Amino acid sequence: ILTTTGFVFVSYLGLTEPASVAEEVKNPEKNIPRGMFLSLLVTTLIYVGGVFIMVAVIPHTDFLANRTPVWTAGSTIFQLYPKQIVEILLVGAAIAAFETTGNGGLMSASRYPMAMARDRVLPSFFTHVGKFKTPNYSIIATSVLMVVLIVTLNVEVIAKMAGAFKFIIFILINFAVIVMRNSRIESYDPGFHSPFFPWIQVFGIVSSLIIIVYLVWIPILFSVGIFLLALLWYWNYSRVHVKREGAIYHWFALLGQKQH
C-alpha cells in the first residue's frame, strides 16, 4: 500500500497548484483553502468512483494484465451505444483531462522561477511579464524542462520521481510552518491557520519520510541530486545576491529567553 501510494501520489499534486498562483487569486486567504479542500473532495470521489467501477466491471484476472482498464470499463458500460461514439467520448475525456492537467501544472510551475527571481535567487529575466501578464521566459524554461523529462524518461519513472520530490517539498513546507508559527514574527499573520498544530505538520513529515523509504532508488537518488544541485546553486549564486535573516533566528531568540 505504501509503495503504491508513492507511485499514484503524483495524481494529487494538482491540489497544491492554487498556492503557487496566490497573487493571481481574488481573496486568497479564503479562496485558496476552499479551492484545495474542494479539489481534494472532488478528485477523491472521482478516483474512488472510477476505480470502483473498473473493479466491478472487469474480472480481476483480466484486470491484472489490462493496460487500459478505463477504456475497457467504458466500452463495457456503454455497450448500448454505437462503438464509434463511445470511442470519441472516451478519447475526448482523456484528451481534456491531459490538457487541463498540463495547463494547470505549467501555469503553477512557471510561477516558481518568477517568484525566485524576484527574491534574487534566480536571474532577473525570469521576472519578465509579457503583454498577457504572464511570465514568458519562466513558462518557456519550465516547458522545455518538462518536454526533456517526458522524452527521455518513461511514465512510471516520472511518476515516482515527481512523487518522491514532492514528498521532500512537503517535508520542508511542514517544517517551515512549524518554524514560522513558533517564530511569532509580527508580519506573519496568515488568514488560514492549520488546525491541530504542530501535530498535523509532524504527521506530514513522518509519513512523507516513510513513503519515500518504500520508493525505489531511482526517484530517491534523483531527489537527492536535485537537492545537492540546489545547494550548489545557493552557495555559488544565491548567497551572493541575497542577504536576509531567516525566521528560524527569531525562534532561536525566543528559545534563548528561557534561561532554564
User: What's the confidence (pLDDT) of residue 92?
Assistant: 92
C-alpha distances (whole Å) from 80 to each of 83, 84, 144 are: 9, 12, 44
pTM: 0.77
Grid coordinates representing 26? 481574488
- Compare 51 and 19 and report the one with higher pLDDT: 51
User: What's the confidence (pLDDT) of residue 52?
Assistant: 93
Q: Cα separation of 203 and 207, whole Å?
A: 6
Any residues with CB less than 8 A from the CB of 143 and at least 6 apart, and which? 106, 110
List, for residues 124-167, the tens digit of each pLDDT value: 999 999 888 889 999 999 999 888 988 888 877 787 788 888 88
Q: Cα separation of 13 and 164, whole Å?
A: 11
Type of residue found at 145: L
Q: Cα separation of 8 and 160, whole Å?
A: 8
Confidence of residue 206 (pLDDT cuts 50, 70, 90): very high
113 exposed, middle or buried (CB, 10 Å; 0-12, 13-18, 19+)? buried
User: What's the confidence (pLDDT) of residue 106?
Assistant: 87
Within 10 A of 167 (CB to CB), how many other CB atoms are there?
24
User: What's the confidence (pLDDT) of residue 77?
Assistant: 85
pLDDT at 203 over 90: yes
Q: Cα separation of 17 and 76, whole Å?
A: 35
Q: Quick check: helix, strand or coil at residue 173? A: helix
User: What's the confidence (pLDDT) of residue 139?
Assistant: 92
Q: What single string gives the DSSP state of each residue in 185-240?
A: -TT---S---SSTTHHHHHHHHHHHHHHHHS-HHHHHHHHHHHHHHHHHIIIIIHH
List, for residues 33-72, the tens digit of each pLDDT value: 888 888 889 888 988 999 999 999 998 888 888 888 888 8
User: What's the confidence (pLDDT) of residue 226?
Assistant: 85
List, for residues 110-128, the tens digit of each pLDDT value: 898 999 999 889 999 999 9
User: What's the confidence (pLDDT) of residue 96?
Assistant: 92
Lowest mean pLDDT among 63-72, 171-180, 201-210: 63-72
User: What's the confidence (pLDDT) of residue 156?
Assistant: 78
